[in-house]
Amino acid sequence: KNQVEQSPQSLIILEGKNCTLQCNYTVSPFSNLRWYKQDTGRGPVSLTIMTFSENTKSNGRYTATLDADTKQSSLHITASQLSDSASYICVVSARLEGGADGLTFGKGTHLIIQP
Amino acid sequence: DVKVTQSSRYLVKRTGEKVFLECVQDMDHENMFWYRQDPGLGLRLIYFSYDVKMKEKGDIPEGYSVSREKKERFSLILESASTNQTSMYLCASGLGGRAYGYTFGSGTRLTVV
């Protein structure tokens, strides 16, 4: 069964500090991996998307890494800001018959940035 | 930017009512999805569609149906709403394939009383 596990479940850090969120997956056949940021009460917003051949991708202060051999990804946030407080969701895509992607979601890491 | 629009942000319905949640995307995407999101359970797939008039059951289709009569519109229908269908409902669309991402709507928070 396809699964995506995220850690930690929640994290509190001080403003200005860095942090790293982890995502381990067992999804086959792998298509791509995405990180989303979800503010409370809103829909998820895409931060990065990586395919099998990509092992790092940045979006401003967010840097995602992917190790397809060990099936692990991380999201590193640099110089955190109060607006980074949100849930961060790892989503791994597998190719389904018929062409659509099957998305498997992690349960998210709830990040709180304290002033 | 791709826009995925869900018709309502907040909805309150009575038990037994028929409920329609509408989702419209403006980028000619083939694939559209309906998820529900509950605390501690993450996002769970209800139904998806990879073409007009095509639909596939997701992980939790019971109590729901969908309609995709036009490419840009994917509707989720609760035939007879129940209190356990109180949830945040999220629609997503995308082209699919290795290099493409998916865009989510802002969500509809449905409360069934």
Rounded to 10 degrees, the C-alpha dihedral B12/B16/B22/B23 comes to 90
Whose structure tokens read 């709403």? B81
Please say whether the beta carbons of B57 and B42 come within 8 A.
Answer: no
Q: Which of A52, A33, A36 is nearest to A44 (CA)?
A: A36
Q: Which residues of A touch B (CB under 8 A)?
A: 31-32, 34, 36, 41-46, 49, 51-52, 89, 91, 98-101, 103, 105-108
* B45 neighbourhood in chain A, CB within 8 Å: 103
d(CA B100, CA B111): 33
Please say whether the beta carbons of A50 and A68 come within 8 A.
Answer: no
Q: What percent of chain B has pLDDT over 70?
A: 93
d(CA A92, CA A27): 7
The pLDDT of residue B99 = 43
Q: Which two tokens stand for residue A2?
A: 């396809």
Structure confidence at residue B59 as a pLDDT band (50, 70, 90): confident
Q: Which of A103, A87, A109, A99 is nearest to A40 (CA)?
A: A87
Please say whether the beta carbons of A90 and A64 come within 8 A.
Answer: no
d(CA B95, CA B4): 13
**Residue bearing the bigger pLDDT, B44 or B12:** B12
Per-residue pLDDT of chain A (115 residues; tens, 9 = 90+): 788 999 999 999 999 999 999 999 998 888 889 999 988 878 888 899 898 889 999 999 999 999 999 999 999 999 999 999 999 999 998 876 655 567 888 989 999 999 9
Chain A nearest-CA distance from B26, in A, is 17
Please say whether the beta carbons of B10 and B112 come within 8 A.
Answer: no
For residue B11, give the amino acid letter: L
3-state helix, strand, coil in chain B (%, to 5): 5, 55, 45
Q: Which residues pair with B75 in a beta bridge?
A: B22, B67
First to last CA, chain A: 41
Helix (H) or strand (E) holding B35: strand B31-38
CB nearest to A43's CB, from B42, B97, B104: B104
* B56 neighbourhood in chain A, CB within 8 Å: 98, 100
